Amino acid sequence: MQTIASFRKASPGILASAALALRDDVPQVTKAEVASILKRCAGRLGIKGYAYQILDMLLAISSPDDWRTDRRPVVAVSNGKAAFDLGVSEKTITRALRSLVEAGIIAYRDSPTGRRFVNGEGEAYGLDFSPARQRYAELAALASAHGAEWRSMRETIRRSQSVARQIVDALEQLVR
C-alpha cells in the first residue's frame, strides 16, 4: 500500500517514517504517554519553534481512541487550517511538518488526491503518528538520557559554584 503521494519529494527520513507507520507490531501505548515522551525529548530530535507548536497542535486534536492497537492515530487537518490556527504561512506549516516526518515522529498517509480526511468507514488520510508509537521505547530512552544529562550538568554546576565559593572564602581568610 502506497502511503506517500507522488507529488512529495521522498527523502530517506520520509521513507523511514513511512516504513515505521506500516509495521504491524503495534506497541500498547496511550496518546498521553507518547505526548509526554515527545515533549521531553523534542529538543534532542531537533524539534523546536514552529515544528514544536505544530506537534503540540496535532497531539491536541488527535483522538485518544485512535491510539488503540487496532487503529491508526491519524490527524486530518489541512495546512491552511493549521496555518490559520497558528498565525503563520502555509509554507511554514509545510516545512515544519516535513521536519516532523524526517524526525520520525509522524508519517504522511496520503490519499490518492493528496487531501487529508477521515471517512465514516474508518479510513483515514493525513498525518499518522504511528512512527512515534512504534519508536516509543527508543524515545523514552532518549528522554531519560536527556533528563540524566540535565541532572548531571546541574550537579556539576552546583559543585563548581561550591568550589568557587570555598576559594573566595579561603582568599578572604588570607587577606585578613
2-38 pLDDT tens trace: 567 767 777 888 888 888 888 888 889 999 999 999 9
Write the pLDDT tens digit of every residue in 116-164.
888 766 678 899 999 999 999 999 999 999 999 999 999 999 999 999 9
Which grid coordinates are listed for 45?
A: 530530535
User: Does residue 1 register a pLDDT over 60?
Assistant: no
pLDDT in tens, 35-63: 999 999 999 999 999 999 999 999 999 98
Give the three-class secondary structure for 109.
Answer: strand
